[in-house]
Amino acid sequence: MNHDQEWTQPEPLWREDTTIDSFDSLNENLSTDVLIVGGGITGITTAYLLAKSGKQVTLIEADELVNGTTGHTTAKVTAQHGLIYDEFQNHFGVDDASLYYQAQMSALAFMEELVEKHSIDCDWVKEDAHLFATTKQGALKLEKEYKAYMNLDIPGELTDTLPFDMDATKALSMKNQARFHPVKYLAAVVKELKNLGCDIYEHTKATDVTEGDRIEVTTGNNCTITCDQLVSCSHFPFYDGKGFYFSRMYAERSYLMAIEPEKEIPSGMYVSIDEPKRTVRTAEYEGKPILLVGGESHKTGEGVDTSFHYRAIEEFAAETFGIKKKLFQWSAQDLTTLDKVPYIGPITRRNQRVFIATGFRKWGMTNGTLAAQLIADYVVGETSLFHDLFKPSRFKTDPSMKQFLSQSFDVATHLIDGKLEIVGERPERLRTGEGKVIQWEGKRAGAYKDQEGKVYMVDTTCTHMGCEVEWNSAEHSWDCPCHGSRFSYDGSVMEGPADKPLVDLSEQLLPLSEHKHEGQEDQLEESE
Ligand code: FES
């Protein structure tokens, strides 16, 4: 393999070969029955279901449709969400663990029906999903998980080998799962939405919510949308509604790459359960089978130099499959709830007009579709077998309190450690394309030098609740370790809960170049 070969595309595979209809931004006030905020799989599917039920639906997206988490997925459509069924039947009981599986499979069945009904050409392939272990302890965990499968009537099989070059100690399959091309699928659903008369606006960011007789949502360009019911499908809820979601979830980043392998491509979808975690699935590109290989999850804003993670995956792919050609690489951010079950339903116990869907972990294709089904039922007043299990106001002390305390401790640590950190770098020493935490006039600041040599400097204090952001060298972003907010190198918000940009300190750099001519460089050298 040629390690020096450049990636042909530093972008997700999914948008490369597929276009999706584009829409204007909103530039007038309007009124609608249901407003859906977020144009990923959850928002688009919710809009489809509600428009079909006869509701007047408006969907707005802050960026472009399917350009957020849905556009960065591995696109596995499966109920095998890691090692969860043994844990769920212990914590929640057999009935709820079984309901979780049934809910995911109902989402898979809905998607399959939609593909058939509208003859959607989206590379839909039914395949088994597999967990695999490479250690003895991992093998024991898979044996326990298999017992849970048998107890919950989940079709699966425990084996000792994998169909690719890897020493596995055990592998556990889940039968009849699927994979697909998410953008091809959603491009077709968006066309159906247009036929159903749904209003869609891109580049329209919801910024404020006022709840009165009706709900008023203000957009970034000062338009107002008045609605009877509001659905937040914006990954991190754009509106908290006193639900304190930032304290009830944590964000993780993970990395994925598409390669043309040298070795034969195995069928099936694979996730390892031992560290370092790895995920593998096949896909199609330009009529040929290719492999998606990923992993390296870490909490947002934590961990080593982020470009290390791509290198680690590349090494794994080269050793296991050989790399004939490197095609794409991209990363994703996922949110995990306190008990690993998504929050889907009314935003608080008393508020039955605003609904949220979030916390899908890495399993947004089935969870996002399920969320659309459950929220559509809420909106039209129907009950679902699955509502109680997923409603955000559920309260399970175990394991959620343990997770809550651990998350709160993490936040407190970042708040304190970030402020005390001593940093000594200076902006004039940055290399092109490099970002760093620096010391600027005795305070912590973040600086980045772009390809043209322009330096951007921001205050690294997160505008959400004051933790200190860290530089993400792979994505050129400032990431907050407390609740997962992400900011571009210039400080603009890429991902909430923060809704305000980092304070821009770039103007303060001007005196630096002027002062440098007056010998400031020498003074700075002395103060090192
Ligand atoms: Fe909450 Fe940064 S995201 S403090």
Identify the pLDDT of residue 221: 86
Q: What is the 3-state secondary structure (H, E, C) of 443-454?
A: EEEEEEECCCCC
As a whole number, mean pLDDT of residues 436-452 equals 85
Domain count, the chain: 1
In a domain, 311, yes or no: no
- Specify the pTM: 0.86
- For the stretch 158-210, pLDDT in tens is 999 898 888 899 999 999 999 999 999 999 999 999 999 999 999 999 999 99
Identify the pLDDT of residue 372: 98
In a domain, 476, yes or no: yes
Owner of token pair 């760093």 = 436
In a domain, 438, yes or no: yes
Phi, psi for 456 (deg, rounded to 5)? -110, 140
Identify the pLDDT of residue 518: 40
Between the CA of 497 and the centroid of ligand 1 the distance, in Å, is 7
Q: What letters, b where the CB count within 10 A reaches 16 and e where it falls short, cover 127-153?
A: bbbbbbbbeeebbebbeebbebbeebe
In a domain, 447, yes or no: yes
Closest ligand 1 atom, CA of 484? 3
Q: Outline where 421-484 has alpha helix (H).
A: none
In a domain, 344, yes or no: no
Closest ligand 1 atom, CA of 415? 4
In a domain, 522, yes or no: no
Residue of 235, 500, 459 lying closest to 469 (CA atoms): 459
Pocket test for ligand 1, best of 467, 468, 493, 502 (most atoms within 8 A of CB): 467
- Cα gap 204→29, rounded to integer Å: 12
As a whole number, mean pLDDT of residues 104-130 equals 97
Nearest-CA residue for atom 4 of ligand 1: 465
Between the CA of 222 and the centroid of ligand 1 the distance, in Å, is 26
Identify the pLDDT of residue 8: 47
- Cα gap 310→481, rounded to integer Å: 20
Between the CA of 404 and the centroid of ligand 1 the distance, in Å, is 16
Residue 523: band (very low, low, confident or very high) from pLDDT cuts 50, 70, 90: very low
Between the CA of 448 and the centroid of ligand 1 the distance, in Å, is 21
- Cα gap 329→443, rounded to integer Å: 35
Percent of the chain residues past pLDDT 70, beyond the cut = 88
Identify the pLDDT of residue 332: 87
- For the stretch 55-74, pLDDT in tens is 999 999 999 999 877 778 89
What sign has the CA pseudo-torsion 175, 177, 179, 180? positive
Q: Are 224 and 217 in contact (CB under 8 A)?
A: yes
Phi, psi for 314 (deg, rounded to 5)? -60, -40
In a domain, 502, yes or no: yes
Between the CA of 469 and the centroid of ligand 1 the distance, in Å, is 8
Task: Give the H or E element holding residue 31.
Answer: strand 30-37
Pocket test for ligand 1, best of 238, 240, 485 (most atoms within 8 A of CB): 485
In a domain, 180, yes or no: no
Is the pLDDT higher at 201 or at 251?
201
Cα 244–376–225 angle (5° rounding)? 65
Nearest-CA residue for atom 3 of ligand 1: 483
As a whole number, mean pLDDT of residues 88-105 equals 96
Closest ligand 1 atom, CA of 414? 4
Between the CA of 482 and the centroid of ligand 1 the distance, in Å, is 5
Closest ligand 1 atom, CA of 465? 4
Its domain, for residue 445, covers: 427-517
As a whole number, mean pLDDT of residues 272-280 equals 94
Query: What CATH number is given to the structural domain containing 502?
Result: 2.102.10.10
461, 465, 468, 473 alpha-carbon torsion, rounded to 10°: -90
Between the CA of 485 and the centroid of ligand 1 the distance, in Å, is 6
- Ligand 1 neighbours by CB, cut-off 6 Å: 246, 462, 464-467, 480, 482-485, 497-498
Identify the pLDDT of residue 442: 75
- Cα gap 203→62, rounded to integer Å: 5
Between the CA of 468 and the centroid of ligand 1 the distance, in Å, is 8
